[in-house]
Chain A
Amino acid sequence: MAKKVVIVGAGAGGGLTASRLRKLIPKEELEITVIDRDGTTDFQPSYTMISTGNRSPDQISTPIEHFTKIGIKPIKAEVKEIDPKNRYVITGEEKIGYDVLVLSPGVKFDYGKFPGSDKLFHFWDMHSALKLRQQLAGFNGGRILISVTTKLYKCPPVPWEMAMMLDHYFRMKGIRDKVEITVAHWAPKPFAMFGPTLSEPATRWIEERGIKTINNFTLRSIQADKNEITSETGESVKFDLGIVAPPHLPHDFISNNDDLRSENGWLSSNIDNFRTSKFDDIYGLGDAIAPTVGLGMAGVFAHFQADTVATLIAGDITGSYSAVPYNSLGLCAADLGHAGWIAYCDFGGKLRNQSPFPDCRSTGKSVLFKLAHPIYERYFLANVYGGWY
């Protein structure tokens, strides 16, 4: 009888785990089900480009129904609860049994945790990126502010990356002199979380582009009616268009479950085998484990975690497969508008607490590197859906 793997989340972690498992084990031996709340796999690093009008949703998003073409069962539903002792995933309508469970549900945006955040704009999901696109298209001058509500959010370098993209956007539109772009962020310097090798050149580029930065700015409150935000130290910044990352929190079915959550409320896991601490038939990966294992939230981590998790599960089922060891490299192919930039970091030392920063380097900026982003974008979606993207 075929074993059952249920995967929660169709993003980088869940989507790639599903497609890799399908390649490794035939349908007769393994039944794979993917449950996703939104019903799509999005290439999330391109949400910035949705906002600037350089991508349309169908270019970076694939409906999970395409999984049927490669022998994977898709279910569009929101997971309400997980019963790890009896091996069930409970959605609004169904109770789905499993032999192995892979949890890669990403994060939830809880606007209620930060009053006023729902009144501003952002680009951290498709719907919001499209709303921001409309605002930017009609923006003819004024103050743009980019900030974050929580310390952890998807793609740590993106506030500054987006600022540089907007700089290019308004230069091309011919109204850059009428637009003031400010990034107010909790970090002591732009890209500070990656150490001086990235922070120093990035800070220089940001200055060269005339982008204002307010460092050590930890957001305390949003006064949406006054178009103003205030920091923990009482510093206020006014804006005409506010782009603020909403509060990133773990899903309730994780934070409310003592068997699945770690001490910080996020999903339990580890970087050796990605099994949760209490159940070795449940794997956790992607953004939902980032705060637990000490990584940032980024698709590239989920990508390499999926390689390891899929090969480990295949090994458990067939008893013969050698697992791909976890690659702790972080790659970022950024399109800054005027140029592309590839940054790469080895997080191994940081994960082992041997270094406060990852070991980061970059290729430097080049127009040629603008191509790295669309190449990976296409590869990612094709790879998840076996070419049926």
Chain B
Amino acid sequence: MSTDSEKSTNDIVEELLPTIRTIKKLQESGIMAMIDAVADNFDELFNYASSMPLMDGISLLVKIAPMASVLLKSIDMDKLQKSLESIPWDRVAYGFNSITDFMAKDMEKVQIPQTKASMLRALGEIETPEMQYLLNIAIKFARRIMDDMENLKKTEK
């Protein structure tokens, strides 16, 4: 068997034929042109990509990865996928928009009370539809967690 240094250029080219065919396909598909553009501008790409937000993103991934690994071990992925698919995401997104909009525009208008609230006034607040809606969500959420934990105990036995 010949060593690399003994190989002729022809031998090397022949060995590279499958790779050259792939490169030809990449050229015809336009992928090579994209790679060429990246290579052409790589000096600037490296410079601009060397930024605090990008490095922070990498750091976050590195630090979250071990936690995610622990979590994934105990999550039923099929169940998670089905649950995620059935979430009304449009409503969640709408609620999220409302929160960010409130935080941006109205949060500063909320005053810190200078005096203690009276019991009657506090009860009045609790009776409002907004508070009732939030309480209902919290109660249903808590009940669901308790039911699931109860089921988990039964299966462990």
Question: Footprint of B on A, CB under 8 Å?
Answer: 20, 23, 304, 307, 324, 327, 329, 331, 342, 344, 346, 359, 361-364, 366, 383
Inter-chain contacts of B52 with A (CB < 8 A): 329, 344, 346, 359, 361
B51 part of interface (Cβ distance < 8 Å): yes
* B8 contacts across to A, CB distance below 8 A: none
Q: How far is the CA of A363 from the CA of B51 in the complex (A)?
A: 13
Interface residues of B in 88-145 (CB under 8 A from A): none
Residues of B within 8 A of A329 (CB): 50-52
Q: Is B152 an interface residue (CB 8 A)?
A: no
Min CB–CB distance B46 → chain A (angstroms): 8
Give complex CA distance A49, B148 in Å. 55
> In the complex, what distance in Å separates the CA atom of A344 from the CA atom of B54?
11
- Residues of chain A contacted by B44 (CB below 8 angstroms): 307, 324
* B-side interface mostly: helix
Q: List chain B residues, Cβ under 8 A from A342.
A: 55, 58
Q: What separation, in Å, do the CA atoms of A261 and B63 have in the docked complex?
A: 46
Residue of A whose beta carbon sits closest to that of B51: A329
Contact of A364 among B48, B51, B62 (CB under 8 A): B62
By size class, the interface of chain B is 10 to 19
Partner of B47, one of A324, A359, A366: A324
Which residues of A are found within 8 Å of B59, using beta-carbon distances? 361-364
Residues in chain B within 8 A of chain A (CB atoms):
43-44, 47-48, 50-52, 55-56, 58-59, 62-63
Q: Which of A20, A307, A324, A363 contacts B58 (CB 8 A)?
A: A363
In the complex, what distance in Å separates the CA atom of A346 from the CA atom of B53? 11
Q: Contact between B47 and A361 (Cβ–Cβ < 8 Å)?
A: no
A361 B56 Cβ-Cβ under 8 A? yes
Residue of B nearest to A379 (CB): B46
A359 to B53, CA, bound (A): 12
Task: Please name 11 further chain A to chain B contacts, defined as beta carbons within 8 Å, in addition to the given A327-B51, A344-B50, A346-B52, sorted by A numbering.
Answer: A23-B43, A307-B47, A324-B47, A327-B47, A327-B50, A329-B50, A329-B52, A342-B55, A363-B58, A364-B63, A366-B62
Taken together as a complex, chains A and B put the C-alpha atoms of A39 and B52 apart, in Å, by 35
A361 touches B55 (CB 8 A): yes
Residues in chain B near residue A364, CB distance under 8 A = 59, 62-63
| Closest chain B residue, CB of each to CB of A311 | B44
A363 contacts B50, C-beta separation under 8 Å? no
CB atoms of B43 and A304 under 8 A apart? no
Q: Who on chain A is nearest to B65 by CB?
A: A366
Query: How distant is the Cα of A344 from the Cα of B52 in the complex, in angstroms?
Result: 7
- What residue in chain B is nearest A345 (Cβ atoms)? B52
Provide the residues of chain B in CB contact with A346, threshold 8 Å: 52
